[in-house]
Structure 1
Amino acid sequence: MVVAGLCFGVMGVFVKLGSAGFSTAELVFYRCLAGFLFILLVALPARRPLWVPWPAMKVHLTRSISGFVSLMLYFYAIAHLPLPTAVTLNYTSPLFLMLLTALWLKQRPHRGQWLAIVVGFAGVALLLRPTLDATQWLAGVVGLGSGLLASVAYMNVHELGRLGEPEWRTVYYFSLVSSVGAGMVMLLQRAPMTPIDFDNVWLLLGMGVAATCAQLSMTRAYRKGKSLIVASMAYLTVVFSTLFGMLIWGDVLPTSSYAGMLLIVGCGILSSTMLRKG
């Protein structure tokens, strides 16, 4: 999950750079298309089966659709809210995952898991310092929706691991569904598509490679580990993204942001300690 967090941070850099020339739907489309093509080029020569029986396929579809809609809602929130607020709302997903695990799966989280997730979210709030105007309530609800649907996707990723589904096939179906969904949104847009040339193709390639590595790493983490422990370590993405902002764009952070980073790192250490014990 640490590797996934780093790769998601790198992906965010390319998304930020690419957003100056590409629309949201285009970025989502190219992000997911890269993963789809990569998995396809690896799986077909190796003759790995892409089709699965219906019980597993149903979970694949639930994971893929919830993940895609969550991604679109997240990008909508980014477009209509301050970036720190949109990120904070999206990272409510571990809190929702904890509630879904207790209510849906009837699995009561340990005290340490509650503590790790709450401490991590407090660190995110301190680091990003979100704000929300009264007129932005709809975008705020959309941002919360992205976090809720992301938790549904993560729970289904864990279920796919329990069913024995490999990481590459989980990423394959998510990339396929998201590429088709984003492609349909692109077709409905009235604005012409941004042409791809030598000046911007490297942004799309970098975003696609980073996103695919992040998806594969995250899927393996949820497949092999305990969902709530893995979810609490997902907050490290915020730390990596913030550090990239400081190094590349010269962002200046207040003292509270550094305190937030320490809380997030402490959340990761607490989670890894529970992982070794469990």
Structure 2
Amino acid sequence: MLQRLKQSSSFWMILACFCFGIMGVFVKLGSVQFSISELVFYRCIAGFVGILFVVMLQGNTLKVSLPMLKLHMSRCVAGFVALLFYFYAIAHLALPTAVTLSYTSPLFLTLITIFYLKQKPQGGQILAIMIGFVGVVLLLKPTFESAQWQAGLLGLLSGLLSGVAYFNVNKLGQAGEPAWRTVFYFSLVSSLGAAVLMGLQDEPLTMLDSRNIWIVLGLGVSATVAQLAMTRAYSRGKTLAVASLAYLTVLFATLFAVLLWDEQLHLSSYIAMALIAACGILSSALKMNKSVSLSP
């Protein structure tokens, strides 16, 4: 039974969603003491060090062909910028709102897939995408009426860039790239990028001590487990089908926000979140059978 669960892309995606929800909690807690670039750095360096240790222990190779390296870099850059925007949104918005905006990625993923294949989309897909973005407008409406409009826009952009990153993750999986190598290159590039931003920031770096080290450790561990599980889910399953399960992160984030901070959103926000989730799942379910293959 356990072995069958380990072979299921759904199992890995549910695990990823739960860990991503926990990661969001640590980002929210850490944003009080750390800058966004510092949080991204600690989130990524943990995965880099852990996977590098496994690579050295098992003697795996990090060498890839030039075309594969370009695909890795495309995934890494999109994922890194998406992560920066996502953490900024978490720090400045209610946790469920920030997570929902980032998890518009399946809607964007559907659009990216359609344009990449240059095929006419189904009517249901168009309807799902349109209704989904109506939900985005509803969710952003109170944000634009406050000083949080920038965080709202960046949260939405994180969803777009995440869609690009997931598209490339699937292409890497189809090309035979192991999940650990995909995560390794992402962790390496993101750690270096965040380190550069940390060196450029005006405020002094936050020193680690007994009052905040647990936040860094929790962020690193939860993010690394989530990243590995998500990568395995996308590489083993059909991208558009697996993407629909990503909305479980919204559920986990909402539960954590209520339990830890007693966050209460307006009714229209919950309706908007439900619309976005439902239409993301619908757009994933209405994939174009065998013709919707992400093969290059």
- TM-score scaled by length of structure 2: 0.79
Q: Say yes or no: does 1:159 pair with 2:208.
A: no
* Distance of aligned partners of 1:113 and 1:38 in 2 relative to their CA distance in 1, 3 Å threshold: farther
Kept in 1: contact 2:110–2:284 (CA 8 A): no
* Distance of aligned partners of 1:241 and 1:204 in 2 relative to their CA distance in 1, 3 Å threshold: same
Deviation at 1:202, TM superposition (A): 1.1
Kept in 2: contact 1:3–1:214 (CA 8 A): yes
* 2:47 equivalent in structure 1: 35
* 1:104 equivalent in structure 2: 116
Kept in 2: contact 1:86–1:143 (CA 8 A): yes
* 2:200 equivalent in structure 1: 188
Task: Specify the SS of the correspondent of 2:202.
Answer: coil
Letter in 2 for 1:11: M
Deviation at 1:131, TM superposition (A): 2.7
Q: Identify which of 66, 71, 82 aligns with 2:78.
A: 66
* 1:235 equivalent in structure 2: 247
| Structure 1 unmatched ranges of 5 or more | none
Q: Identify which of 40, 49, 66 aligns with 1:54.
A: 66
Q: For structure 1, which segment, 260-269 or 227-236, has the greater mean C-alpha deviation from structure 2 after superposition?
A: 260-269
Kept in 2: contact 1:30–1:208 (CA 8 A): yes
Mapped to 2, the partners of 1:10 and 1:217 lie a distance apart of: 14
* 1:90 equivalent in structure 2: 102
Percent identity at matched positions? 60
Mapped to 2, the partners of 1:126 and 1:134 lie a distance apart of: 14
- TM-score scaled by length of structure 1: 0.83
Letter in 2 for 1:70: A
Kept in 2: contact 1:157–1:223 (CA 8 A): yes
Mapped to 1, the partners of 2:114 and 2:74 lie a distance apart of: 19
Kept in 1: contact 2:240–2:284 (CA 8 A): no
* Distance of aligned partners of 1:246 and 1:68 in 2 relative to their CA distance in 1, 3 Å threshold: same
How many residues get paired? 277
Mapped to 2, the partners of 1:268 and 1:97 lie a distance apart of: 10
Mapped to 2, the partners of 1:209 and 1:194 lie a distance apart of: 20
* Distance of aligned partners of 1:245 and 1:121 in 2 relative to their CA distance in 1, 3 Å threshold: farther
Mapped to 2, the partners of 1:182 and 1:79 lie a distance apart of: 17
- 1:237-252 superposed matches below 5 A: 237-252=249-264
* Distance of aligned partners of 1:259 and 1:86 in 2 relative to their CA distance in 1, 3 Å threshold: closer
Q: Say yes or no: does 1:177 pair with 2:166.
A: no
Kept in 1: contact 2:129–2:280 (CA 8 A): no
Mapped to 2, the partners of 1:112 and 1:42 lie a distance apart of: 45
* 2:10 equivalent in structure 1: none
| Structure 2 unmatched ranges of 5 or more | 1-12, 291-296
